[in-house]
Structure 1
């Protein structure tokens, strides 16, 4: 019994048998599966990787003291951190819901939970950074840095909330959302394209790989965790792509979303290993 359609090189749709998908017919709500547009998937993925990387890098490289707005200790980098979930989450949501067939209620619930992790982590990071700014103003006052309560408040805000709790929740939210996005898009199969036409896939995968490596090396004690996660995810994706016959440059963009994540986790694994070999396993230093 046919359970869907696969796009052919001539632009036609040919039947996909249910056993090819690894699902029993009785589990499918609809017998017709139309894959989402490949250009749409690649565009959303490129936008997601670009904005995530920008919102991670820009607040770090923009100097605090030169970008203050007319609010106490509120600068351009704080504004970018505030805007992060308002821009990045809708793109993730569109990427997740563009899958065909539509994600099940279970997967939607899991995606909602991952979104809570991501949004709460982002918000906690922004608020703890703003609170840290105020405490810093007290610390720089003459003699104030010798007050134990001030130092304890600064260390608790900076180390526990800004650099550990919020960062790990933010990273966990992105990771679980990414896993779910791969799951819902894995069934969409397309004809291969020229590697020259697959530049969007390479662009998104490379930027995402750099982003993952930056996150894993800057979280406290996270490089080893990052290496373990990237190695396991890469091995899993490569195995399933190979099993489906969609592994290798010659099969570029046949399963764009899994292939993008396979490229990104491979690059992140390499960068994290190199960084760890040079800098060690502790990641960000805490006061």
Structure 2
């Protein structure tokens, strides 16, 4: 190749190697550019070293984004449940106000993950009719994000407005007996809107955003990852697995949903890797992050399923409140 025509490959347009060469998990210093494998220790092209370094930087950023997203969602979910945040007034309970910051923090992080996918800049132009592959990803992700934000608001409002009604009912049991609608108002806010409609559609939006991530990264190969990137990536997957189990344990009937969800999503992740190997042995299933996003969710599903099974073995299908915890 003439050096005059040499062009650095973009980190957003890197494609899986079309040869039958299988990358080794231990080949930390191998450069894969344009189908040519060059060891950085013997390379004389600084440009190729820079491209290799840039790819590692992008993988590291993605690992931090996955960790940050899982950690922020976990904090925003667990803190209002397990802590007693003081109320400003009966109309402004502390735990509900804390939840206001959830989508403000977690939604941009989910957005940043999607922007790291190669298909967002180099996907097919006519993937779904006249829509490009990137447009399909944006469309599906936006729908999930809309569900997430909309029903997060419904959940927060229901949790906030039920408390004054509850306080009134406790202070005036005679009126509640005389006017049963007072209890129905509280019950509908707490059970129907907060615990069922808002809970499940709010969580459904978050799940849909994660499904779109799997779709967007389905053909993308990463790494080999550095040791630090592997650690960050593993911690993020563990936190997301704890989140899946925690949400299942908290929601009404959530254990059944969580059990089915972790099994189904984990199976889908395995199939995505095994049936689309992208020139990796077994699709990179047993590597540390070569299929970074898919393996992130697969590991989380395995851990989440394990925690749910342990909980069911000890408490049955009772959620956290029903189990008295």
TM-score by shorter chain over 0.5: yes
- Shift in Å at residue 227 of structure 1? 1.2
Match of 2:301 among 265, 268, 279: 265
Question: How far does the alpha carbon of each residue in 1:254-286 deviate from its partner, in whole angstroms, 9 at most, with x for none?
Answer: 121111111101111111122223223353668
Q: Does 2:192 align with 1:160?
A: yes
Q: Does 2:63 align with 1:42?
A: yes
Mean Cα displacement is larger for which, 118-127 or 99-108?
99-108
Q: Secondary structure at the match of 1:12?
A: strand
Provide TM-score, normalisation by structure 1: 0.83
Match of 2:109 among 91, 94, 107: 91
The residue number in structure 2 matching 1:252 is 288
Q: Would you identify which runs of 4 or more consecutive aligned residues in structure 1 move more than 4 Å?
A: 6-9, 194-197
Q: Does 2:316 align with 1:280?
A: yes
Q: Distance in 1 between matches of 2:307 and 2:34?
A: 41
Matches within 5 A, 1:51-200: 51-64=72-85, 67-69=86-88, 71-102=89-120, 104-143=134-173, 144-146=175-177, 147-193=179-225, 197-200=229-232
Residues 187 and 134 (structure 1), Cα distance of their counterparts in 2 relative to 1, 3 Å cut:
same
Residues 54 and 224 (structure 1), Cα distance of their counterparts in 2 relative to 1, 3 Å cut:
same
| 8 A Cα contact 1:206 1:264, kept in partner | yes
The residue number in structure 1 matching 2:125 is none
Residues 193 and 93 (structure 1), Cα distance of their counterparts in 2 relative to 1, 3 Å cut:
closer
Gaps of 5+ in 2: 1-12, 18-26, 37-53, 121-132
| 8 A Cα contact 2:263 2:305, kept in partner | yes
Provide TM-score, normalisation by structure 2: 0.74
Residues 259 and 16 (structure 1), Cα distance of their counterparts in 2 relative to 1, 3 Å cut:
farther
- Shift in Å at residue 242 of structure 1? 4.2
- Shift in Å at residue 134 of structure 1? 1.4
Q: Distance in 2 between matches of 1:59 and 1:68?
A: 12
Q: Distance in 2 between matches of 1:45 and 1:215?
A: 18
Give the CA RMSD over aligned residues. 2.6
The residue number in structure 2 matching 1:225 is 257
Gaps of 5+ in 1: 18-33
The residue number in structure 1 matching 2:245 is 213
| 8 A Cα contact 2:63 2:233, kept in partner | yes
**Larger Rg over CA atoms:** 2
| 8 A Cα contact 1:50 1:204, kept in partner | yes
Mean Cα displacement is larger for which, 209-218 or 135-144?
135-144
Q: Secondary structure at the match of 2:34?
A: strand
The residue number in structure 2 matching 1:30 is none
